[in-house]
Chain A
Amino acid sequence: MSQAAAALAAAVFALAACSREAPPEIHFTASNVTGATFGQDFALPDATGHVRRLADFRGQVVLVFFGYTQCPDVCPTELVRLAELRRQLGAEASKVQGVFITLDPERDTPEVIGEYVKAFDPSFIGLRGTPAEADATARAFRAFYQKVPGSAPDRYALNHSTHLYAFDPAGRLRLLMQSSAGVEAMVKDVRTLLAGH
């Protein structure tokens, strides 16, 4: 009982401390999903076979995008925006990690995904699990995708959600960035996260 009371007191104190130290308003252009219970972590092999997890990127803002390399325009456009975001961050770019998770491991081999993401920014990491792992990760992130049959069995397309998941340097999911957001606004949001807000 007294332990609980102490914990409560500590929590209240911490909250009070936070509200004193934090600026009056933390404004993000992106959707603020701080405290979300989805998108907690991933554990998928990169192009070299190393399993990467969110904890590997502590101290960095991690931006996660789900897509597939046979995607003709939406995925490249998003990755171009991510690369532009890093360019605009200048010296702070090293504190931002772009992660591309394929929803199409059947066609996106490790070789394809590795070369693909690096064509946009050499720092980007492409992750590819088994189809079951890709599906489980998408579900855990509430990323939607759906196979659309094409004119031949290997010519299917994927309908998929297009937002970026932004994690703060402590590894907490904080923002969902919409594909319609301007890069400048995204840069501002990332800087806010890097500042520890």
Chain B
Amino acid sequence: MKQNGGSLSLLLACLLQSPAWAHESAASDIQVKDAWVRGTVAGQKMTGAFMRIDSASGATLLSATVEPAVAAVAELHESVRDGGMARMQAVKRIDVAAGQGVSLQPGGYHVMLMGLKAPVREGGTVKLRLHFEQDGHGHDVEVTAPVRPLAAAAGSAGMGHGMPPGTGHQTGQGATK
């Protein structure tokens, strides 16, 4: 009896983590994958989180929150390079174009983790909650982002390489606010 219960839990856990399940969710079609966080050295107070976001019907990323144990705050930022200058600015929203999606990647959009409580080291993970709006409804998506080395190259989300399968997966989705 107890054994059966254990197997059932395991089966449920597997089902819940399956991308197929995620895809069939009626609540929202927002897909987040290939999430990663750039590692830091001691004393660095900020770092960036990057990921690929897709949605067949389109959505808007409005904000993000991070585990309080990791950082004080998460903000949506954009790096822009123009005329030999790198500029960084906070943005109020990141549009996930219907059918086209958006890549949060070095040199562009990212989730800025500010006020780090401790260095973020390779091998660890950071849990983020992304707040989307879709069809006038709020949707939260939880993401577990593995930490890559500080010196990780830019090639990542949406570039079609560099990520071992099964990392940066979406741990939950479509939970209506």
A-to-B contact residues, CB < 8 Å: 69-74, 76-77, 79-80, 83-84, 107, 109, 111-112, 115-116, 119-120, 144, 148, 150-152, 154-155, 157-163, 178-180
Contact = CB atoms under 8 A, between A and B. Distances in A.
Contacts of B151: 76, 79-80, 83, 119-120
Interface string B83-100: 011111110000000000
How many interface residues does chain B have, given as a range?
A: 35 or more
Given A80-B154, A115-B42, A157-B88, A72 B48 contact: yes
Nearest to B50: A73
The 4 tightest CB contacts between A and B, nearest first, are A72-B48, A73-B106, A112-B43, A115-B41
Contacts of B42: 111-112, 115
Contact of B89 (A71, A79, A119, A148): A148
Interface stretch (B27-35, B107-115, B168-176): B107-115
Contacts of A144: 85
Contacts of A152: 114-115
Contacts of A109: 43
A105 to B, nearest CB: 13
Contacts of A180: 81
Q: Which secondary structure dominates where chain B touches chain A?
A: strand
B131 interface: no
Q: Which of A155, A179, A180 has the most CB of B within 10 A?
A: A155
B153 A80 contact: yes
Interface string B114-154: 11000000000000000000000000000000000111111
A161 to B, nearest CB: 5
Contacts of B38: 72-73, 76
A112 B150 CA distance: 13
Interface of B: 38-39, 41-48, 50, 73, 75, 77, 79, 81, 84-90, 105-107, 110, 112, 114-115, 149-154
A104 B89 CA distance: 17
16 contacts: A69-B41, A70-B44, A70-B45, A73-B50, A111-B43, A112-B41, A115-B41, A119-B151, A148-B88, A150-B90, A151-B73, A151-B90, A152-B115, A154-B45, A163-B84, A179-B86
Contacts of B112: 72
B114 A150 contact: yes
Q: Main secondary structure on chain A at its contact with chain B?
A: mixed
B43 A72 contact: no
Contacts of B43: 69, 109, 111-112, 115
B54 to A, nearest CB: 21
A154 B45 CA distance: 9
Given A111-B43, A148-B88, A120 B150 contact: yes
A160 B87 CA distance: 7
Contacts of A73: 38, 48, 50, 79, 105-107, 110, 154
